[in-house]
Structure 1
Amino acid sequence: MSSPGEKTKYSPVKEAAASDGANEVPCTPQDDAICLKAKMSLLNGITVIVGSIIGSGIFVSPTGVLLYTGSVNASLVVWVISGVFSMVGAYCYAELGCMISKSGADYAYIMETFGPFMAFIRLWIECMIVRPCSQAIVALTFSVYVLKPFFPECLPPDTSVRLLAVCCIMVLTFINCWDVKWATRVQDVFTYAKLLALFIIIAAGAVQLCKGHVEYFTFDNTKTEVTQLALSFYSGLFAYNGWNYLNFIIEELKDPIRNLPRAIAISCTLVTVVYFMTNVAFYTTLSPVEVLGSSAVAVSFAEHLFGFMAWTIPVFVALSTFGAVNGILLTSSRLFYAGACEGQMPEILTMIQISRLTPTPAILFMALLSMLYLTVSDIFALINYVGFATWLSIGVAVVCLPVLRYTRPDMTRPIKVNLFFPIIYIIASIFVTVVPMIASPVETGYGCLMIATSVPVYFIFIYWRRKPETIQKAIVAVTRCLQKIMVVVGAERPAKV
């Protein structure tokens, strides 16, 4: 790793052909330059967000939310508040994304606002904990739903679940390495499939409502402890995780100033309505006891209502989670890429495959980390780790908005958010990160420990610029070897003016 902007005489070759010394020019879709290009339409943007949000969460989190709230009605309130919370955050991100239009989203915003040290901590949390852990959770859920019809009376074997999750990640890694259009096409198709699955569940629930099945909609047994309610938001917010993913690939979105806020608004509204109605549908048929005892809520729902066609729901859920894994992989690799471009990740992660024009090294790195997390199969423990790290980091990113209003009032802001919204979001973020420390000190303690590991890594690999020549040569030799294996070169970037 090197410091931002620093180059040494040992730097690997950056271009496929020898440079004639001319200045770099901005990369546009018509250029033959090797770089990430804007290929994504508004519809693609909506499907990236919807596809990234709707994954395993809606099929796993109902159990977690109900566990900590105690009653069906209280759990529905948590689902709605979680959706509104996500919308407020997405609204704040719309201003940040249009003002700082760089891939990397909140990493880029924190870099611009607080400098490289805080940005690296955010990068470390997201790259080493949140994204690969989230992808492992979704891949495990995909495996459980695929295998569940073959093991109707018991849980699928743990080893089989993990191996299938690995296969899922490897297939999607190949697709994302091959072509961005393939990846977005997969995202489009599987987003439609998951929405169809949820609409089938909602329609079945509506029929149950018309028949008067509302006996479980009460506030009976509602838990009033603040710590328990805060933990319920971890599961609820996990289901909405992904609303900021389009910001990570904003450089590949056509007309981002126009399409980013539209995609965010449409997607978040759609998902909140769908999630609420899906939960209502579940509770028209399943009792709280059945939900708490089910490892696959949608399967239990289908077994009650669909008879011999119950197998269709696990298939649709598998499609849903498959698309979610693709969405996480598509956007997460761009975060590695953005960090590497700032000199805070290995230089190889800045590079683009010369024929496919995809960030292949970053995609492969993300996939390997995700498969490493598959050594753990306790989904709810992983959700708690992810929840603490995610909302702490996103809360810091939203702090950038009022800080930049004060320190950089001259920045161009195509969208200007009322400061009431980031302030409310910051207060809520403090609630969902600080309160669970009391209720779940062990898990949050491990989360803090994982975050703290970023400090020595920063000072050793980034802050320490003048490394011995032997170490620099070794780093360059490894980088060149990986370049040859993956046939990648450094992306051409716009010249600074």
Structure 2
Amino acid sequence: METLLEEKGNEDGKMQLKRTIGYFEGVSFIIGTIIGAGIFVSPTGVLKYSSLNVGVALSIWAACGIISLMGSLCYAELGTALPLSGGEYSHIKRGLGSPLAFIFMWTALFNKPASNAARALLFPEYAIQPFYGVCPAPEVLKKCLALAVLWFLGILNGRSVKIAAWVQTVFTVLKMMALSVIAIGGIVLLIKGRKENLARFENAFSSDIPDASQIAEAFFQGLYAYGGWWSLNYMAEEMKNPSRNIPLTVMTAVPAVTVFYLLVNISYLTVLTPKEVVSSVAVAVTWADRVIPTVAWIIPLSVTVSIFGALNSSMFILGRLSYAGSQSGHLPVLISMLNIHYSTPAPAMGFSTIIATVFIIPSDLIALTNYFGFSVWLMIGLTCASLIVLRYREPNLHRPYKVNGNK
């Protein structure tokens, strides 16, 4: 699946990345981007703001999955009608104009590398902290490891799409196996469960019902856990048969994540009480200590694997954003150049990796996470607005797929 250069089928003879990413790789990228450390470490936000009401919490997890699927289907229409690199940037530029696209580009150039820096800083928390026991690991060591992982993946994605996609597929399979252990373990425990465990689900809505503000906060927490469903549009230019594969990929990946999130949360609540879930710093580790104590180390390892896979996919799509911005003249032209030996947007990958590096050196994890979350929903709103504008402004634009299912 090595990315090569390909002549565009138009008169300008402009070079573009060849369509080499298939359905399975697309599913791996979406799932790998969505599932990070959150579902393993602390899925407490939804339950906390649901007033420890198990039924409400599970309903919100399901509703967030449906909302994410609806959003991804809107993006699928844009991706099939305008299969270009750059994802939201390219769609906003076409629908709302260059000025807003320019603002989006320069905003994304900082908040998306901040997200990557946050993931890179989270990696050593689980990779090296177990070796220090109760003592905190040295900050310098954690930052050095974060920088090493960041640059390793930046160079990897700059050299070969084939290897990057292979790494993504392998790590997605590994994290899904870990989630399967938790999900299947919960199902087995439910079948053989004690009455007090089953009572949590038989009387799922018996606790206090949260008010509107709490429900809104619970939805925010849940939607954050589904973040990444928009990632496929950043590589639309490289998708094989995008008219078919983009909608099919999102309709496979997002529901699959929703089902696993529900099963994993049910498994947690089968073993732990709602209060124990909320008070646990790493709920999956607590679950493993109770259910599989002899091999509980699998969970911290799974968290590390999950973070690595999510960071790899984020690095991949961020390079495409810089590449698209440079092609449109919103970034220096050097960034849109392609490596003739490896046929990848290597300058764009290096540029985005350097920005993420700057965030790692002085910043902390909490500050980076808050910075990233501040603007992500504004970007999604602008992209969905561009979909509506294009429906009216360009009604005859070829749309192989439409959200309402009409051709």
TM-score normalised by structure 2 residue count: 0.89
Measured in 2, the distance between the counterparts of 1:289 and 1:155 equals 26
Measured in 1, the distance between the counterparts of 2:114 and 2:67 equals 22
Measured in 2, the distance between the counterparts of 1:330 and 1:390 equals 18
Query: Structure 1 residues 115 and 233, CA, compared in 2 at 3 Å: closer, same or farther?
Result: same
Measured in 1, the distance between the counterparts of 2:117 and 2:176 equals 22
- Give 2:331's match in structure 1, choosing from 318, 340, 345: 345
Matches within 5 A, 1:26-425: 26-27=7-8, 35-60=16-41, 62-71=43-52, 72-129=54-111, 131-153=112-134, 156-210=137-191, 211-212=193-194, 213-214=197-198, 216-217=200-201, 218-219=204-205, 222=208, 224-374=210-360, 375-379=362-366, 382-418=368-404
Measured in 2, the distance between the counterparts of 1:214 and 1:372 equals 50
The higher radius of gyration belongs to: 1
Query: Structure 1 residues 386 and 227, CA, compared in 2 at 3 Å: closer, same or farther?
Result: farther
State whether residues 57 and 238 of structure 1, in contact with CA within 8 Å, keep that contact through their aligned partners in structure 2: no
State whether residues 42 and 280 of structure 2, in contact with CA within 8 Å, keep that contact through their aligned partners in structure 1: no
Measured in 2, the distance between the counterparts of 1:348 and 1:227 equals 48
1:406 Cα deviation after fit: 1.1
Query: Structure 1 residues 252 and 168, CA, compared in 2 at 3 Å: closer, same or farther?
Result: same
Given residue 36 of structure 1, which amino acid in structure 2 is its aligned partner? L
Query: Structure 1 residues 287 and 382, CA, compared in 2 at 3 Å: closer, same or farther?
Result: farther
Given residue 337 of structure 1, which amino acid in structure 2 is its aligned partner? Y
User: What are the superposed Cα offsets for residues 365-395 of structure 1, whole Å, 9 maximum, x if unpaired?
Assistant: 222222333333344x544443331112101
State whether residues 402 and 419 of structure 1, in contact with CA within 8 Å, keep that contact through their aligned partners in structure 2: no
Measured in 2, the distance between the counterparts of 1:296 and 1:407 equals 49
TM-score normalised by structure 1 residue count: 0.73
1:398 Cα deviation after fit: 0.8
State whether residues 34 and 354 of structure 1, in contact with CA within 8 Å, keep that contact through their aligned partners in structure 2: no
Query: Structure 1 residues 150 and 285, CA, compared in 2 at 3 Å: closer, same or farther?
Result: farther
Matches within 5 A, 1:1-40: 26-27=7-8, 35-40=16-21
Query: Structure 1 residues 383 and 69, CA, compared in 2 at 3 Å: closer, same or farther?
Result: farther
1:143 Cα deviation after fit: 2.2
Query: Structure 1 residues 75 and 45, CA, compared in 2 at 3 Å: closer, same or farther?
Result: same
Measured in 1, the distance between the counterparts of 2:215 and 2:307 equals 27
Measured in 1, the distance between the counterparts of 2:395 and 2:15 equals 35
Given residue 364 of structure 2, which amino acid in structure 1 is its aligned partner? S
1:228 Cα deviation after fit: 3.2
State whether residues 42 and 282 of structure 2, in contact with CA within 8 Å, keep that contact through their aligned partners in structure 1: no
User: What are the superposed Cα offsets for residues 319-347 of structure 1, whole Å, 9 maximum, x if unpaired?
Assistant: 12111100000111101111111111122
Query: Structure 1 residues 400 and 317, CA, compared in 2 at 3 Å: closer, same or farther?
Result: same
State whether residues 36 and 306 of structure 2, in contact with CA within 8 Å, keep that contact through their aligned partners in structure 1: yes
Q: Secondary structure at the match of 1:243?
A: coil
Query: Structure 1 residues 354 and 43, CA, compared in 2 at 3 Å: closer, same or farther?
Result: same
Given residue 45 of structure 2, which amino acid in structure 1 is its aligned partner? G
Query: Structure 1 residues 355 and 27, CA, compared in 2 at 3 Å: closer, same or farther?
Result: farther
1:215 Cα deviation after fit: 5.0
Q: Secondary structure at the match of 1:314?
A: helix
State whether residues 49 and 210 of structure 2, in contact with CA within 8 Å, keep that contact through their aligned partners in structure 1: no
Given residue 340 of structure 2, which amino acid in structure 1 is its aligned partner? I
**What stretches of structure 2 of length at least 5 have no aligned partner?**
none
State whether residues 41 and 282 of structure 2, in contact with CA within 8 Å, keep that contact through their aligned partners in structure 1: yes
Q: Secondary structure at the match of 1:353?
A: coil
Q: Report how many residues are paired.
A: 391
Query: Structure 1 residues 329 and 395, CA, compared in 2 at 3 Å: closer, same or farther?
Result: same
Q: Secondary structure at the match of 2:7?
A: coil
1:317 Cα deviation after fit: 2.0
1:102 Cα deviation after fit: 1.0
Query: Structure 1 residues 250 and 292, CA, compared in 2 at 3 Å: closer, same or farther?
Result: same
Given residue 215 of structure 2, which amino acid in structure 1 is its aligned partner? L
1:168 Cα deviation after fit: 1.7
Tell me the equivalent position of 1:456.
none
User: What are the superposed Cα offsets for residues 149-180 of structure 1, whole Å, 9 maximum, x if unpaired?
Assistant: 32454654544433322222122112111211
State whether residues 235 and 383 of structure 1, in contact with CA within 8 Å, keep that contact through their aligned partners in structure 2: no
Given residue 296 of structure 1, which amino acid in structure 2 is its aligned partner? A
Measured in 1, the distance between the counterparts of 2:151 and 2:158 equals 11
Given residue 141 of structure 1, which amino acid in structure 2 is its aligned partner? L
Measured in 1, the distance between the counterparts of 2:38 and 2:347 equals 28
State whether residues 234 and 383 of structure 1, in contact with CA within 8 Å, keep that contact through their aligned partners in structure 2: no
Measured in 2, the distance between the counterparts of 1:168 and 1:297 equals 25
